[in-house]
Structure 1
Amino acid sequence: MSLKSLFKELEKANLHLKKYNHVNKKALDQFLSFSEQKEKLYKRKEELDVADQKIGELMQSLEMQKVEAIQFTFKQVAKNFTQVFKKLVPQGAGHLILKTKDNDDDNPEREIENSDAFTGIGIRVSFTGSDAEMREMNQLSGGQKSLVALALIFSIQKCDPAPFYLFDEIDQALDAQHRKAVADMIHELSDKAQFITTTFRPELLENAHKFYGVRFRNKVSHIDCVTKEQAKDFVEDDNTHA
């Protein structure tokens, strides 16, 4: 082939190559780079999937521990409530109910996997000991509600005692028999906690260790440490003039 023919072939080849000017000449390098990034991302995703699975397992384990802790604590408080209420009301009976979303009270031992299933605590009591006369809080009188509330506080205190309790006239709506029962219960629990109470009734004074009298003189309140006899005279005098 002559030189002239070679130049013509070269010219044809160049014209043919011009058709491919729009082709990305860095495509191969970019493909290799993107392929490498793809592999890294796939590997990272696998690591994240493993981490997500472990986190899910941990959350499930913590949730089950939470459920077990709630059920364990409730069983303790419920047991204490039944015993405490029996001491406060010897002829009565009381029970705590752990409420759930499905309200299946007939099967309290069923397996619960999520703490969100718990909705609250129900209280059912009878002041006569008859199961047929079991009532809920909204069916009780003021004095009965006070007694149930105190039984619940004392039940929790047995599980997790606070250092001290401040009770303001908790015996106001109670009759003499129940006031004495409450006073005896406070005395029993006073070994593990300090109870500060205000009262206008004599029953809470019987087992107290320290007495303070509060009087209103010349438009000013005065508080003084008094003897047990002075405290009794004060409440008896107040009841006489009431």
Structure 2
Amino acid sequence: EINQLTNQVFATRNKMENLQAAQQNGVQRLQDLEHRLQDEQDAIADTRDLLAQLNEQLGNTAEEMRLVEQDYQLAEQDYNAATAQFNEGNLQLTRQQSKITATRQELEFKQNQLNDLRNQIENNSAQLTEAVSSIEESQQALANSEDSLLELMRKKQAEELKLNEADQAYYNLRNALQEKESSLRLKVKSKEMVEHLLGEIKDKLNDLKLQLAGMKERLNVEFRIELDDILDQPRTTETPLEDLQASADRMKKRLENIGEVNPTAIEAFQEMKKRYEFILEQKNDLVDAKESLMQTIMEVEATANQQFLETFNQVRENFQKVFKALFTEEDTADLILENPDNLAETGIDIVAKPKGKRPSSITQLSGGEKTLTATALLFSIYLIKPAPFCILDEVDAPLDDANVGKFTNMIKQFSENSQFIIVTHNKMTMSTVDVIYGVTMQEPGVSKLVPVDFRALS
């Protein structure tokens, strides 16, 4: 960057020298014109004297008078031409002085930048020296730390060995203790099972006693039969005991199934019926709403697909036109739907084939061709609904001069309906705009905006 600034300073000095030489030539030419003007004025004075003499000599011929008048007119024309040249030279001198003043200001600004860069280089050099010394100290400390780390690693290995031995002894003792605890738990469990079984037997015995007492009481109360009196009596029927027991169980189950009479069963039925009818009505409403919603979704999808397809066809047509405008009429480009049957999820393939190339993918194009293709796609979408403003940030950076010319011509065509704001460093693009805004830094840290309206100049 310093070399570039130095070259710019030398170039500025050369411009100043050329301007000074041009100024000297203009001054010399002005002096020549002044001498020539003086000579012409002297000639005019002589001519006037001659005219006075001719007036005194009225006897001269009319032909000589006419010749003298012609000489006078020619001299006066030369004087007017000399005056015009003098004014033009004065105007050129004023312009050159303005350019010299601007060049001197730019030279001072470049020299200030050069001084700032030199100071920055000195500061960076000092910081680099400090960083190098700090790195050396850190390396020395790292070497010392590595020695200490190796010593600690050796101690750690010795302590880990002792710890492993202690862990092994602990695990052996814990396994022996677990075996004894397991055997003890088995014995305790066996004891609990025996006690539980004994408790169950006692409970069954008590239940049998209670049942027997209940049966005695029931037989005595309901049937006026003493159980102790009939135990020793023989059976009077030949029906097996199992059948009698089964018949009794069936009767018990029928009684249990019948259950108690519920007086609120009719009210519960009515309430459940109303609840059922309400839920059925809600279900029908939900089914109707679902069908209506599905119909609406289908209509929305159909409308969206139709609008998407119409917009896609317009973008496709615009893309082909803009692509040929940026390239040539023989170049082809197209937009292809990957899945036309599913417009909501389909992808779009961009096909660009400049003349002489048949790339299988857009990634095989050069940087400038990719940029022009992307620009063509953006403007094809832009043409669907043009915006009042359009901002382009260094779009022409990867383009060569020929493609920059095509790009600027297209911008001029579209600028009839929209205003374009272009961020660029390309001189060709700058030369075609209406208004240019330059950002400069005459003082360090202070930016200044310099606008130039070319429309006023034209």
| TM-score category, normalised to shorter length | 0.7 to 0.9
What residue number does 2:350 align with? 123
SS of match in other structure, 1:212:
strand
Residue of structure 1 in register with 2:388 after alignment: 163
Tell me which amino acid in the other structure corresponds to 2:364.
Answer: Q
Q: CA deviation at 1:134?
A: 4.2
2:452 alignment partner, one of 215, 226, 232: 226
Q: Which residue matches 2:403?
A: 178
Partners of 2:326 and 2:265 lie apart in 1 by: 88
**For the pair shown, which has the larger CA radius of gyration, 1 or 2?**
2
Please name the residue that 2:325 is paired with: 87
Q: Which structure shows the higher helix fraction? A: 2
Measure, in 2, the Cα distance between the counterparts of 1:29 and 1:168.
80
Matched with 2:434 is 209
Decide whether aligned partners of structure 1 residues 137 and 80 sit closer, same or farther in structure 2, where only a CA change above 3 A counts: same
Aligned to 2:336: 97
Q: Following superposition, which runs of at least 4 residues in structure 1 exceed 3 angstroms of deviation?
A: 18-21
Secondary structure (helix, strand or coil) at the match of 1:222 reads: strand
CA contact 2:394–2:422 (8 Å) conserved in 1: yes
Q: TM-score, normalised by structure 1?
A: 0.73
Q: Once the two structures are superposed, what CA deviation does each residue of 1:77-121 show, in whole Å capped at 9, x if it has no partner?
A: 111011000000014221112233xxxxxxx5xx44x61x32x32
2: distance between equivalents of 1:52 and 1:170?
50
Alpha carbons 2:434, 2:453 under 8 Å: kept: no
Instruction: Name the CA shift for 1:210/1:29 in 2 (closer, same or farther; >3 Å).
Output: same
- Displacement, 1:184? 0.9
Identify, as 1 or 2, the structure richer in strand.
1
| RMSD of aligned residue pairs (Cα, Å) | 2.4
Count of equivalent residues: 198
Q: Structure 2: how far apart are the matches of 1:83 and 1:135?
A: 21
**Maintained 8 Å contact 1:205/1:228:** no
In the alignment, the residues of structure 1 paired with residue 422 and residue 286 of structure 2 have an alpha-carbon distance, to the nearest angstrom, of 58
Using a 3 Å threshold, how does the CA distance of structure 1 residues 66 and 129 change in structure 2: closer, same or farther?
A: farther
In structure 1, C-alpha distance between the alignment counterparts of 2:285 and 2:423, rounded to whole Å = 63
Closer/same/farther in 2, CA of residues 200 and 36 from structure 1, 3 Å limit: closer
Q: Which is bigger in relative contact order (C-alpha 8 A, separation at least 6)?
A: 1
- Provide the secondary structure at the position in 1 that maps to 2:447: strand
Q: Could you tell me how far 1:206 is from its partner in structure 2?
A: 4.7
Shift of 1:228: 4.0
Distance 1:165 1:60 in 2: 36
Q: Which residue of 2 aligns with 1:4?
A: none
SS of equivalent residue, structure 2 residue 338: strand
Partner of 1:143: 368
Alpha-carbon deviation of 1:158?
Answer: 0.3
CA distance in 2, matches of 1:29, 1:154: 76
Q: What CA distance in whole angstroms lies between the structure 2 residues aligned with 1:203 and 1:98?
A: 37
Compared with structure 1, are the counterparts of its residues 56 and 129 closer, same or farther at alpha carbon in structure 2 (3 Å cutoff)?
A: farther
State how far apart, in whole Å, the 2-side matches of 1:63 and 1:193 are: 33
Work out whether residues 93 and 129 of structure 1, in 8 Å CA contact, stay in contact via their aligned partners in 2: no
Unmatched tracts of structure 2, length 5 or more: 1-254
Partner residue in 2 for 1:76? 314
CA shift for structure 1 position 129: 6.5
